Structure 1
Amino acid sequence: MDILALRPVPAAAVLMAITRRCPLRCRHCSTGSLPASEEHPGEIFQRFAGTFAPGDGPRLVMLTGGEPLLRPRLARSLAETAARGGARTMILSGMFFAPRVPPAAGGAARIPPAIDAAIDAADHFSASLDAFHEEEVPRESVFAVMRALLARGKDLSFHVTGTGPGDPYLRDVTAAIRREFGDRVPMLVGRVGAVGRARTAALAIPSLPAATGSEAAPGAPAGTASRTAPPAPPAPTGTSGAVTASEAGPPAGTGTAGSALPCAMAAWPTVGFDGTITACCNQDVVDHRPVPGHLRLGHAGTDDWDTVRRRCLESGVLRALRTYGPLWLAGAPPERGYCETCRTLDVPPPAPTPAAFVERQVRDLQLAGGGTGFARRYGCPPYDHLVSLGHPERDHDF
């Protein structure tokens, strides 16, 4: 809830994809990661994190990949460096380290020491769980790791993806998580997008026992006959999952050509695998070079946080994207493609900077929606309410 509530706030956080490597071969992988995928020196990321300063640095650092816990010492060092700069850290993992043979029912799993230390250094840990990950890592093994972490008071969440609101897998797995953890661990439910391996893979959900009506999450659709939902729309995908709308479609909304549909994805800088810093987490932006000029913020090997933050906040095009969206800027019809329109945007100078009061109003409307509002726009309704599970509903400094 707290992390998602920050999503519309420009430069409130930074995403760092510290490796593209992953030992899993999930068929839906948005990055197309493999064990030998690209990986760049950790010094690039460490140098950039070292420029964070209390009061002026990001409030949150999200470590992603690939699989960030393939570099546990780097992840731990980045979390410690970020803390000195006044930031909190979140790690999202595909759980490759969970035991292949699940412990006895209800048992906790042993976590490899270096990985355990990295998780301990972070403020929040999120596990990816979906039908495709379950082909690689058993669900009960993931639960066993999460039980061990929850028992010692770790702040946790699940990142769950499916093919759409009617996907029976989503009803099954969300109900299982709620039973297992007593509604103490929140979930962000997203949709698989046509990027990475998912662009060409056949993504029929593996056959699972259908959830009964009583097990369905509140508000979830019931009685779906098919085990494969209609394909999700092309996704503004990011390396860190649905927190960044990595498996979500464009923001909900329809309209005529040039309709205003603000983009919250143009708010948080993303450090790619090679250190290139982009203004959004769209996987096609993160992966491909050159980066469209209006979406490039710098490089972690040469620029500091203050420079990147200033570019993010002051760019007229980015401010317009956050306020009106790419369809408005391009005068394009909705069917043209929300993210594709942005990537091919050709904005003549001077940049169409929105009026400050309009910009504030749009941001404040999104902030008023909080974490559930973001999940509703970019996630998979009717599961948006699951981000609030376990939330203390209290004021705090985050």
Structure 2
Amino acid sequence: MDILALRPVPAAAVLMAITRRCPLRCRHCSTDSLPTGPEHPGEVFLRFAGTFTPHDRPDLVMLTGGEPLLRPRLVRALAETAARNGSRTMILSGMFFAPRIPPAIEEAIEAADHFSASLDAFHEEEVPRENVFAVMRTLLARGKDLSFHITGTGPDDPYLRDVTAAVRREFGDRVPMLVSRVQPVGRALAMTPATPTAAPPGAETRALPCAMAAWPVVGFDGTITACCNQDVIDHRPIPAHLRLGHAGHDGWDVIRERCLGSGALRAIRTYGPLRLAGATGRGAGKGYCETCRELDAPSLPPSPVSVFLERQVRDMQLAGGGTGFARRYGCPPYSELVSLGHPRRNDGL
């Protein structure tokens, strides 16, 4: 819940997709990862993490992939580098190694502050649920901070009712869950083809802020974008307003400044791409994210009014906390599950 509460805060965290390789072949994989997927030298990521300082660093570094624990020594090195300057680290894993934890992976998990396991019907075709639970039981007994990332086809998916109940029984409401739905990207396109629809009438006058334009994302090749949308990360050229730089030659101070200072990104975070498209005269495209990728927005210097409005929008989202973020971007009926195990959880949950 604490991690998700940071999501609307620009540059509060950085995501690093340190590999596109994965030994699993889950049918819903948003990154279309394979055992032979591309992988770039770890030095690129270590160099970037080495630019953090105690006074200028992200609060959180989220390591993902592909499967980040295919590179356990790199994960450990990144976590240790981040920790030296005050950043905390989270790992998101597909649990290919379950039910046992190999020594190198154990050291990587130990070096990180938070460990999250992906669990859904598609992962269970590759890794049995009990194997995942076995690893999580071991880590919980050692006092590790844990969570589950659970994906289903929608609020009415019976799998979600089953698996969330199983997690609560198994772990006694001590392990939170972020429940989301399959998105039509990567291999999931074969299951849920993307069918963007035209923006509804009046969308260009409505403010629909985008919290996803807050955290920089270091892609598999070191390119840094302002958005975690897989179509943005994968496709070239990256829209100019969404490209922040490259981990091979830019430092955190530069990336943070570009993230905070871009007029286009500030407007996207404050009003959303639909209203911004209307203001630039282009009009909304076929959907929210599609409109954003097609923007040709000038990077205007901030005015006192724009700074005030951006702060107001950010504070409104912060007031919703982690559950508010999960309600908007996850699967709403399960949003309160992110609070399990938290001292401020809803006791009536």
Q: Please tell me whether the aligned partners of residues 176 and 338 of structure 2 are also in contact (alpha carbons under 8 angstroms).
A: yes
TM-score (norm 2): 0.93
Shift of 1:348: 4.0
- Segments of structure 1 that go 5 or more residues without pairing to the other structure are 100-109, 204-230, 235-252
**Greater alpha carbon shift after TM alignment, 333-342 vs 319-328:** 333-342
Equivalent of residue 170 in structure 1, options 160, 167, 190: 160
Q: Which residue identity is paired with 2:290?
A: E
Question: What pairs with 1:220-239 in structure 2 (closer than 5 Å)?
Answer: none
Instruction: Give yes or no for the alignment of 1:267 onto 2:214.
Output: yes
Q: Aligned partners of 1:373, 1:232: CA distance in 2, in Å?
A: 26
Which residue in the other structure is 1:372 paired with?
Answer: 323
Q: Aligned partners of 2:67, 2:320: CA distance in 1, in Å?
A: 31
TM-score (norm 1): 0.82
Residues 43 and 382 from structure 1, CA distance in 2 versus in 1: closer, same or farther, beyond 3 angstroms?
Answer: same
Q: Aligned partners of 1:178, 1:26: CA distance in 2, in Å?
A: 24
Residues 94 and 387 from structure 1, CA distance in 2 versus in 1: closer, same or farther, beyond 3 angstroms?
Answer: same
Residues 33 and 145 from structure 1, CA distance in 2 versus in 1: closer, same or farther, beyond 3 angstroms?
Answer: same
CA deviations on 1:4-53 (whole Å, 9 max, x unpaired) are 00000000000000000000000000000000000000000000000001
CA deviations on 1:266-305 (whole Å, 9 max, x unpaired) are 0000000000000010001111122110001000000000
Which residue in the other structure is 2:254 paired with?
Answer: 307
Q: Aligned residues, how many? A: 338
Q: Please tell me whether the aligned partners of residues 260 and 328 of structure 1 are also in contact (alpha carbons under 8 angstroms).
A: yes
Which residue in the other structure is 2:264 paired with?
Answer: 317
1:61 partner SS: strand
Residues 233 and 154 from structure 1, CA distance in 2 versus in 1: closer, same or farther, beyond 3 angstroms?
Answer: farther
Which residue in the other structure is 1:361 paired with?
Answer: 312
Equivalent of residue 332 in structure 2, options 381, 384, 390: 381
Which residue in the other structure is 1:83 paired with?
Answer: 83
Question: What pairs with 1:237-316 in structure 2 (closer than 5 Å)?
Answer: 256-258=202-204, 259-316=206-263
Q: Please tell me whether the aligned partners of residues 320 and 352 of structure 1 are also in contact (alpha carbons under 8 angstroms).
A: no
Which residue in the other structure is 1:56 paired with?
Answer: 56
Instruction: Give yes or no for the alignment of 1:338 onto 2:288.
Output: yes
Instruction: Give yes or no for the alignment of 1:140 onto 2:91.
Output: no
Instruction: Give yes or no for the alignment of 1:96 onto 2:47.
Output: no
Q: Please tell me whether the aligned partners of residues 93 and 118 of structure 2 are also in contact (alpha carbons under 8 angstroms).
A: yes
1:184 partner SS: coil
Residues 254 and 89 from structure 1, CA distance in 2 versus in 1: closer, same or farther, beyond 3 angstroms?
Answer: farther
Answer 1 or 2: which has greater helix percent: 2
Q: Aligned partners of 1:35, 1:156: CA distance in 2, in Å?
A: 26
**Greater alpha carbon shift after TM alignment, 349-358 vs 311-320:** 349-358
2:117 partner SS: strand
Which residue in the other structure is 1:221 paired with?
Answer: none
CA deviations on 1:177-217 (whole Å, 9 max, x unpaired) are 000000000000001010000112x36xxxxxxxxxxxxxx
Q: Please tell me whether the aligned partners of residues 62 and 90 of structure 1 are also in contact (alpha carbons under 8 angstroms).
A: yes
Runs of 4+ that moved beyond 3 A: 231-234, 332-335, 348-354
Q: Which residue identity is paired with 1:196?
A: G
Equivalent of residue 122 in structure 1, options 107, 112, 115: 112
Instruction: Give yes or no for the alignment of 1:112 onto 2:62.
Output: no
The percent of aligned pairs where both chains have the same amino acid is: 80
Residues 48 and 374 from structure 1, CA distance in 2 versus in 1: closer, same or farther, beyond 3 angstroms?
Answer: same
2:203 partner SS: coil
Residues 255 and 381 from structure 1, CA distance in 2 versus in 1: closer, same or farther, beyond 3 angstroms?
Answer: farther
Q: Please tell me whether the aligned partners of residues 263 and 299 of structure 2 are also in contact (alpha carbons under 8 angstroms).
A: no
1:261 partner SS: coil
Q: Please tell me whether the aligned partners of residues 191 and 232 of structure 1 are also in contact (alpha carbons under 8 angstroms).
A: no
Q: Aligned partners of 2:201, 2:8: CA distance in 1, in Å?
A: 22
Equivalent of residue 297 in structure 2, options 306, 326, 347: 347
Which residue in the other structure is 1:242 paired with?
Answer: none
Shift of 1:381: 1.1
Q: Which residue identity is paired with 2:129?
A: R
Q: Please tell me whether the aligned partners of residues 79 and 122 of structure 1 are also in contact (alpha carbons under 8 angstroms).
A: yes
